[in-house]
Structure 1
């Protein structure tokens, strides 16, 4: 944001938010709080939710459900809420990981609490609860705000499925159940909205769906578990085609291009391995889990890599950030800034 990079990470038994100068990496301020979160599956200890920066505030959501607002200029804590304690939320498989959605003075989070506290909106200035909606458990997907028809709509891909909510008061507009029959499963990819239609995808035998919101119902255009099953990395869309991962991370997923309209697979690279993909113009920036960055054409004709570079060591699962021609990426122990040349 501007000349600052916001970093949210774990340092020993602290969850730390830092502002870094983008050209040098120099720390401008740092704010932290204690955490006892431990991952039950041998992965990193979090946090996993991307910070949200808006109106001179930084909003973060920690692995144990600590939602906080900081002053962007100084890092001063403005308010915080322990959502897991306040709403009786269980730890879950990988802790809390819903990035805060900020819109019209509200901070909305898929908290995952019982008794109507599945999705909760907080006042962005005070942290006071404004409304609650659904009994849906928490997912690992980031919610988004879109305009469907003429109505601002918040889309949450919760543990139970897709929910469209009126951000003003939490009224549920429509729901579409989309969850694996496996108990040990998650929804993690963020919904994509393309020409008033919504694409969702999950692994664990769940699959992908292209939906049309008609009144109070999501109507499927197509669904399949054989096309583009995103485990944790959200796909991207360009010129009629989706690009993303098909299959679970631990089984070395394929990289694919898929026709959005029909669901037909344009091309696939089997056993590509896990990672993330973002869109930059007409190019794909693919960051593999072992730290290799690949620049490729976003074309349905074939997988066309243009350049490759090893930019990180260790395990890389965090989405990178692209701003002003510089890619910021991190592994468990490294943070790098990579200047991208024009292609």
Structure 2
């Protein structure tokens, strides 16, 4: 018979169990916050910053202030923010790198949001054989219910505990599933749907252009499609009670069932060099995809999302590459490869204006990350030169308000959290505080 603990011991045991329970709950699922930027393009992937109401967008008298700076390795990986943690990826040398420049480790790393102190990192070997633009991983980490999900450039699908960096599971999709790595590596950030499935665009063989994995243990649930992998993740769209995954491969725009991956419709769109990069945009019952050489296409969906038809296509002014377009009140704002920011009507495709390359210089691979500020016409734009630009985007024209240098050359997507912006280049991760308006005294 086990001895019965005395009352003080019983009390301490009870307190310990309660504390352990709440600690486990905290580790498993951090509550969401308006300050979180938990995935590619922020909450819901909407590309909208929930900025403080008193945020100052005119920086003529007060510039953004550097809060902290930390060294980091090279990468195209974007930044995620949940709670008091920052998450991103980079590439580090390992013991084989001196003999083989393509050898190295991919690293997932977390920093303290307020101080920049490194909290943990997790590394694994990743050889970049035959990978063009081979300086580092591409995806933005996806943080969901206390877990961090990443897809490495050459197919390592990883799940870590967010607070500690402990590996919960990892799949080498190339070794295990014969996934075919595209020329520039896997770049579509993992997508969590219905809290249970992790969707990746990784061309498993055979017939695994898209695949769903169990968030808990990484076991495959379904796979779908025979197309090769492009560089963007699918999106989950909703119309009433209907849900659908929409993806853009190098050969088609496709609609799939989230339950089993069944392809419900597809529209041909074969792109040069397979550069299906920008995430499909679902607005006003239509899907918009924007390509570099072949231009943009608008696809109308039926109310039940089961049928699709091409509405228009344009390849003179609407040729996006990596930059994600923004939509507001019937109009879309897209960084075209030649004309700069272009404003056009979503339904008709009619061009209203171009900014004539004011936001970012014209170049071979123009890039700028565009994010709306709250529900306003103002947008934050981090261009490839590392300049954070505040603009007003409206159908009547482009207006620049402020501009400030944050980092050196970068294609990595920044993150916004409260009055802070986080950005990176190939050597440093920085945190800047955006000025706020001082309330007038009564």
In the alignment, is residue 10 of structure 1 matched against residue 91 of structure 2? yes
TM-score (norm 1): 0.92
2:427 matched to 1:333? yes
Distance (whole Å) between structure 2 residues aligned to residue 26 and residue 130 of structure 1 = 38
Match of 2:327 in 1: 237
Q: 1:279 aligns with which of 372, 395, 402?
A: 372
Partner residue of 1:203? 292
Contact kept in structure 1, 2:332 and 2:346, CA below 8 Å: yes
Greater alpha carbon shift after TM alignment, 66-75 vs 158-167: 158-167
How does 1:278-297 map onto structure 2 within 5 Å? Answer: 278-281=371-374, 282=376, 283-297=378-392
| Whole-angstrom CA distance in 2 between matches of 1:337 and 1:256 | 30
Number of residue pairs matched by the alignment:
334
Corresponding residue number in structure 2 for 1:116: 207
How far did 1:141 drift?
A: 1.1
**2:144 paired residue number:** 54
Selected match of 1:267 from 347, 353, 357: 353
Query: Which stretches of structure 1, 4 residues or more, deviate above 6 A after TM superposition?
Result: none
SS of match in other structure, 1:30:
strand
What does residue 301 of structure 2 align with? 213
> Is the contact between residue 149 and residue 196 of structure 1 (CA under 8 Å) also seen in structure 2?
no
Does the 8 A contact of 1:3 with 1:22 survive in 2? yes
Aligned partners of 1:217 and 1:342: how far apart in 2?
47
> What is the aligned partner in structure 1 of residue 233 from structure 2?
142
SS of 1:112's partner is strand
What are the ranges of 5 or more consecutive residues in structure 2 without an aligned counterpart?
1-81, 94-103, 438-442
Pair member with larger Rg: 2
**Contact 2:151/2:186, CA 8 A, preserved across alignment:** yes
Offset at 1:145? Answer: 1.2
Instruction: Quickly say closer, same or farther: Cα 1:185–1:116, change in 2 above 3 A.
Output: closer
Post-superposition offset of 1:39: 6.6
TM-score (norm: length of structure 2):
0.72
Deviation at 1:44, TM superposition (A): 4.4
Tell whether 2:417 aligns with 1:323.
yes
Map Cα deviations across residues 285-317 of structure 1 (whole Å, 9 max, x no partner): 11111111110012121110000111111x210
Structure 1 residue aligned with 2:49: none
2:247 pairs with one of 156, 178, 181: 156
Structure 1 spans left out of the alignment, 5+ residues: none
Which residue does the alignment assign to 2:316?
226
Distance 2:131 2:339 in 1: 23
Alpha-carbon distance between aligned partners in 2 of 1:293 and 1:2, rounded to the nearest angstrom: 24
User: Larger relative CO (CA 8 A, sep 6+): 1 or 2?
Assistant: 2
